[in-house]
Structure 1
């Protein structure tokens, strides 16, 4: 298998971590972006694949064949920085069957710290988004999949979105050109797929519900004013291209996710396909956001936390 074939095989493997359970998709390894996808309805979209490492040393350790054994057995390094970042160590454990201590040679890498990790994800999104202008424009839209290969941080699947919402990375996510950004990372002992735009959307819908209830008292305002306030709130928070489907219940759509308020219950729909033709752009009216409201939003967000599992386990 040549280098290009190996690259395509790896990209398809990561693609299937997100889309592996969808039988109506035909994925084709291409370029700009990495995978072009057709569905049975004749619609298409593109997916860019990228892998996240703490540094280039960690990337070389994972991607250069035989590099681990070369460090362990010969103490040979490809790059001068690798000698500092990739430390040869002996891992000891007690083997009960042999009744003795066993030493296994290995390579120790430095784990990314909390702030460093989010900066790595942020820079990856910004870099890929800047290159998306070169992608095939005949595709309906483009998604990004980031496969996290860093070591150290593990999140809880039901609270992870709070970290992305209260960090500067949210600006990179919302400002990107991708319809959706999927981060594959560990939550507990399992690998999860986290749709970051959808997660931020859900987080902010619930945050808005808290804010508007204090600012206006939901029961005392009309549906029209409620939605006008929501559009303005989402726009203020960085959500652009908010669209509406005005059926029996109004559906507000951002990226691939739709929000419906039905009988005082919040329902989220997922659109993995093109939106219905009756989806229209939301109109932003100046009726809600002012100095007083902004202060209220900041006060509420200091203590607000969403407990919701916004992701799903990697497809097997």
Structure 2
């Protein structure tokens, strides 16, 4: 009898627990859905990291090619030092300096080949250098194209998960990042100032000539009427010319990246807006006005 009474007493408690369990289950499901939506939004947030490990082998190969190019070029120019005319300092420094000036297309003209053999070798060296420059352009173009594609894919994924309206709000809230562009501009300006300082201090140039020489060098114009002529100046020029032209090129890349980001943002907004318009038209086409029902 006692056990029966206990069982009967437990029945209302079990019923109450059963009645409460759907609510708790619904709360758990709603919490789980909310967390899933939040995680989806977090995973779909823009912008995304597009410079993956797959891109680094190209840079490693390019670095290896440039190293081989510099080594072979310096060796050839050192061997052909008697076939090169112009103002000379140290044979090894001059060979490396001439290699850098040729590779970066600055081409001062202060050291030039004057025999048939040296001219043919220089011609081949210049041609190979242009091929390496083509590889650099290819890597830069791939960087911009892949970034644009990944932003578009990520936006469409966000639209599919959260809806085009939420995706459009997310896109409109994004701001263009000018940080890399500003940093590259500062680095290029610093290179320019350092170059002018060395040209004035060690090459004994007037300030106007130093500014002119630094400008023609970093832009790879290199008229040749002003250039490095001392041993220390050419040692400095080997590093400064290579890094200065690279820094300026990187600045142009980041300017192009900012412009690409702006145009990509416009394109994504246009695509999402088109999806919203199409969805509204489909909804209107499925609406039956006569019986106030929607089919589809």
Q: TM-score range by the shorter chain?
A: under 0.3
Q: Give the TM-score, by structure 2 length.
A: 0.25
Structure (1 or 2) with the greater helix fraction: 2
